[in-house]
A and B are shown apart, each in its own frame.
Chain A
């Protein structure tokens, strides 16, 4: 089993320098009358997760998060995925301490946020964090402009400055002209654009999105995902993105953490999770996702032989999903040369490997 903290070792498909932005260690959250005592019980024994959960429930405690640890890298989209009740929303709230964790550490740079004072947390939330909520969370008594400017107003920014900043954000999310609409006059997609603009108004380093598109229609959801990717291309935030939608997770993620019953059971790049699921649960989760769409050429390529003659084969970028290579492969291309921007050829991909990936995909489905 792989190390749950850093998955396969975070290696994006570029070799840009990796900086860890947010480090979470051993976060526990237990609801109930005496969470501390319950935590001591949990830490004392070494029983399997399910029995522990049931045992805590007997004493009237609910185990929401159990020993959650992970790192988020600078500029990364880190998706936390799980069914409802798996603890993913609690997790993101523990990061900003909207929910107070029972124990654990959240390191932002050299500072453990869980040890910070409430005053300091207000400061951190004002300056460093932005969050988008599932049900938009727009204040019904404020118009679009005032909603977006709200966090700035709380910081005490003068009206002229915050209005200007809010107008920029509204422009950014493509809502120009709706500044003076009231939230209820907007469609769901537009409301969430306001939510996004508001969360970005303070120019946060950390951007939390808690199921931001779950309340939207599928078509709008797709549009918003594209919009989100566009924004991220532009802004390069460090993102924790919560979702229960596997398609969405695989579409957006640099890395995915899969949660179940308050625990992270696997962390990895989308392709890793598809190709090497840690257990049947994760496998069953991913069966809806087509491997060919998610697996990129770079993630399954073979090593470049030492005696490689640079003139042979079709060159393909490492980030290309293998689905895109299928037509050429079927038409007879045997070998693709995988390249990375700025690095030149880095590996080889043969039709054989592509066939194996696809076979694996169908095999999974046939077994079920």
Chain B
């Protein structure tokens, strides 16, 4: 998502004060009108089928025309990649596991320290014991093939974008799309082109892993100080010499960070590609186990993914660390490392000479018994089933239902203990109006409008909110923070989603996302504040956050599924688990970067810690906090299709349906809708931040 941050936000001067008031007043009247007419005109709630623009059939038409054209070149690529994949997989499987384990341990040692070597050995040892060595190596062979491809392509694109303005503008748009369209959605066209199987997965992997590399390359090149470029110029470098001897070495750090991120992205995608792969890898094992509700196996294989991700991340990150040493030393080191690495390879080859010892070694594979684990997990879930169930019911009735179908429908004697009578309705309306009026009188009419609209949304739910009102409110929001330049594309975007006939799943998506984002912002924010205030807690937290961020999205489904079975709550929990890191990070960072003199001043004035937090630290850290929320929204949206696996009914589910039916139109349009929602919220959030920044100047 960091690409988004690199793009310039174009913001007109925000609309003038009085005009804004009038427009919002108009929107309020329009929304109340729509709400009043919702029973009389049912088309306000369900977008009529007859009005749906044939976006999906159009996409399908394009693909019907395109696929036959592209099939021959794709077949060539496919056979080439297939051969490479086979070779890579064969090599990794041929190596006896102790040899591979030693190989990676040496890599870890060179990348960082003997501690990482130990960690690597233990982690890979676990994979052996759990019996997923073959599958693990298959996954790894995909990554080994995808990463060099993605790194090369991404690097070249990054350099191109850095040098040419035209390449840059195209690349940035493409990156934006690649990062916001859910990965599942672009699996579909690849499926059509390459067919079911590992090759489509591999191509998806490469495509998904390119953006971080492009981004980091561009960032690294752009960050080379002008003074160093001038040094190159004065030393009489030609353009090529300057690039090779000055620019590249200076940008090396950032580019290597890109390699790390690319590796993690391709890793995450390999796991997801299992859905179309059906190929003997770890992702497939997890998926299979999850479908069979075999928790023991899903936990074991999920852990395999987790430890593989951690090992790969730590090793690549270790190599990306800045090195203190001259070129000569580095060359010397490289020779030594190569010598060390040769030892396990030769050892592995020798093992093949003695089949008896090979067989003995292989008996170690799979000694961990998932059945015991399975019973343990099932017992655990059973033991806590009563509290878990009541928690589930509580959350469902008190948080999820009201947001989905509205308080008016969700509040019944059965769920809340009382009925939604006209009296309650009147009381609700009166409270809302009084609150809004009070805010308006106090000069905060904006907050008043938020209260009114929020109350209406809560009363009728995302499902009961008329689509014209939805379009109007988003357009108004965009206009208020970013002027006409933002409002027009936002309106086009929302209209596209609605006219594609996806308003209902959109509502479902929004309700899941809003809830997940609220949960994450609140709890993540609290954790972030605690981390900002306590260095010890922060140090404790950091590896946890790192680990959560390196996990492929798939993993988050497992614990949620284990305790809450299939359903929206499980999806919600998985989304929240995945999206909780950004608020923690950004809140901590924001509060920590409040200038020390401001903190001192507030203490001198006599603020309590609480007052300081509310009146000094929050306002100053607001841009970071908003960016954190923005990242949370992005993460939540990208998790939607994954959460669809556990039975949500949102846009992600549409993507998933498109995928399983190989319906490119449906899948892509739904995927694009998620991307549109992501881009809209991103632009609005960032316009808010830049406006806040301006008003401070």
Contacts and interface: CB of A to CB of B under 8 A. Distances in A.
Interface of A: 93, 96, 98, 122-123, 125-127, 129-131, 133-135, 137, 139-143, 146, 150-151, 153-155, 180, 182, 184-185, 198-199, 202, 208
A151 B236 contact: yes
Contact of A139 (B231, B233, B241): B231
Interface stretch (B64-72, B242-250, B448-456): B242-250
B369 interface: no
B27 to A, nearest CB: 37
Nearest to A153: B245
Contacts of B238: 122
Contact of A122 (B227, B228, B236, B325): B236
B237 interface: yes
A225 B527 CA distance: 54
A198 B232 CA distance: 12
Contacts of B324: 182, 184-185
B201 to A, nearest CB: 38
B326 interface: yes
Contact of A96 (B234, B237, B250): B234
B227 A137 contact: yes
A150 B235 contact: yes
A202 B235 CA distance: 9
Interface of B: 225, 227-228, 230-231, 233-238, 241, 245-246, 249-250, 252, 324-327
A42 B164 CA distance: 32
Contact of B236 (A154, A185, A208): A154
Contacts of A155: 236
Contacts of A142: 249, 326-327
Contact of A134 (B227, B228, B233, B325): B227
Contacts of B237: 122, 154
Given A140-B250, A141-B327, A130 B227 contact: no
Contact of A182 (B235, B241, B245, B326): B326
Nearest to B322: A140
Nearest to B235: A151
Given A122-B237, A154-B241, A182-B326, 18 more contacts: A96-B233, A96-B234, A98-B230, A122-B236, A125-B233, A126-B235, A127-B236, A135-B225, A137-B225, A139-B228, A139-B245, A139-B250, A141-B327, A146-B326, A150-B245, A151-B235, A182-B325, A184-B324
B331 to A, nearest CB: 12
Given A98-B230, A141-B250, A126 B236 contact: yes
A137 B252 contact: no
Given A146-B327, A150-B235, A151-B235, A133 B230 contact: yes
Contacts of B241: 154
A143 B326 contact: yes
Which of B236, B249, B324 lies at the interface centre, i.e. has the most chain A CB atoms within 10 A of its CB? B236
A130 B234 contact: yes
Nearest to A96: B234
23 contacts: A98-B234, A122-B237, A122-B238, A131-B231, A135-B225, A137-B225, A137-B227, A139-B228, A139-B231, A140-B250, A141-B250, A141-B252, A141-B327, A142-B326, A151-B235, A153-B245, A154-B235, A154-B237, A154-B241, A180-B326, A182-B324, A182-B325, A208-B234
A98 B233 contact: yes
A135 B229 CA distance: 13
A123 to B, nearest CB: 7
A220 B81 CA distance: 61
B165 to A, nearest CB: 14
Contact of B230 (A137, A141, A146): A137
B234 A125 contact: yes
A153 B228 CA distance: 16
A130 B245 CA distance: 18
Contacts of A198: 235
A259 to B, nearest CB: 20
Nearest to A155: B236
Given A146-B326, A182-B324, A154 B227 contact: no
Contacts of A208: 234
Contacts of A131: 230-231, 234
Nearest to B323: A141
Contacts of A202: 236
Nearest to A181: B326
Contacts of B227: 133-135, 137
A249 B104 CA distance: 60
A108 to B, nearest CB: 15
A277 B35 CA distance: 79
A183 to B, nearest CB: 11
A142 B246 CA distance: 10
Contacts of A153: 245
Nearest to A127: B236
Nearest to B229: A98
A198 B231 CA distance: 10
B249 A93 contact: no
Given A150-B245, A154-B236, A154-B241, A133 B252 contact: no
Which of A154, A180, A185 lies at the interface centre, i.e. has the most chain B CB atoms within 10 A of its CB? A154
Contacts of A140: 249-250
A166 to B, nearest CB: 13
A150 B228 CA distance: 12
B243 to A, nearest CB: 12
A199 B236 CA distance: 11
Contacts of B250: 139-141
A166 B238 CA distance: 21
A137 B228 contact: yes
B230 A139 contact: no
B245 A154 contact: yes
B327 A137 contact: no
A141 B249 contact: yes
A146 B327 CA distance: 9
B580 to A, nearest CB: 37
Contacts of B245: 139, 150, 153-154
A137 B227 CA distance: 6
A131 to B, nearest CB: 4
A177 to B, nearest CB: 16
A139 to B, nearest CB: 6
A139 B234 CA distance: 13
Contacts of B246: 139
A198 B237 CA distance: 14
Contacts of B252: 141
Contacts of B228: 137, 139
Nearest to A138: B231
B235 to A, nearest CB: 4
Given A139-B249, A182-B326, A125 B236 contact: yes
Nearest to A179: B326
Contacts of A143: 326
A126 B324 CA distance: 29
Nearest to B234: A131
Contacts of A139: 228, 231, 245-246, 249-250
Contacts of A126: 235-236
Nearest to B324: A182
B327 A133 contact: no
Contacts of A184: 324
B533 to A, nearest CB: 33
A199 B245 CA distance: 17
A154 B234 CA distance: 10
Nearest to B230: A98
Contacts of B235: 125-126, 150-151, 154, 198
Contacts of A182: 324-326
Given A137-B228, A139-B249, A140-B250, A129 B326 contact: no
Contacts of A134: 227
Which of B230, B231, B246 lies at the interface centre, i.e. has the most chain A CB atoms within 10 A of its CB? B231
Contacts of A122: 236-238
A41 B108 CA distance: 64
